[in-house]
Amino acid sequence: MFALVAVCIITTLPISVSAQYTQDVQIILASEIFHYGDKLDYTIIVSDITGEDARIYITDTVGKRNPLYSMPISEKETRVIAPIGFDSIIWNEGKYSLELDYSGATDKTDFTIVDDGSVGIPYWVNDLAKLWLTTQMPDKEYAKAIQYLIEQEILERPESDGELYIPQWFRYPTVWWSSGQITDTTYTHTIQFLIDKKFMTIPFDQESSDPSSESFL
């Protein structure tokens, strides 16, 4: 009789006394390997939506941990694609860690940037290209951006320069590139071909353009 009473008391206790809920989170990369020009692509998975923001951190190749950004979570599965791609000016080749912090729970995963010869053009050059295409920027100013790519060894420096000349039809591949129809690599190969064949001339008697000193980090 005593045993039966004890069992009844135990079974009527609230579940919260014997168990405590734990948030479960995951951060899953689309790939473990990225190349220059690729965009960071990953999915955040949570077991419960709490109304808090997810905070993303990244640890670089020398072990420095930086906040990447925070974002609201409205679904249990959220795919995130970075707005800009990796470029060799900001990002070093090597291993990185991506960390998710959400409602007290964390998860971490690694990825590697591999230089396979692909090109990533800094995002601000695309912004300048759109201004140039709409005639809000003269040839001389856009040429400074191309000169910057040469100085950063994304493009090879020509053997000789001369008076600035950008052919009008070069706007066509620039439109295709700025709208994402061709890759950074294809666009730089186009510029390099034009410079090498002297269809385009970029003089070096002007300061190059680098309007952004901000890192993607």
Give tens-digit pLDDT for 176-185.
999 999 999 9
Calculate helix-pair angle for 123-133, 171-178, nearest 10 degrees. Answer: 130
User: What is the per-residue burial (b if ≥16 Cβ within 10 Å, else e) of 179-192?
Assistant: eeebbbbebbebbb
Full-model pTM: 0.81
Calculate helix-pair angle for 171-178, 184-196, nearest 10 degrees. Answer: 160
Residues of the chain with pLDDT below 50 are: 1-13, 15-18, 213-217
Give tens-digit pLDDT for 143-182.
999 999 999 999 998 877 788 999 999 999 999 999 999 9
Domains of the chain: 22-113 (2.60.40.1930), 123-196 (no CATH)
Model pLDDT, residue 62: 95
Contact in structure between 167 and 200 (CB atoms under 8 Å): yes
Model pLDDT, residue 18: 41
Model pLDDT, residue 7: 45
Model pLDDT, residue 159: 78
* CA dihedral for 157, 38, 65, 210, sign (positive or negative): positive
Contact in structure between 104 and 26 (CB atoms under 8 Å): no
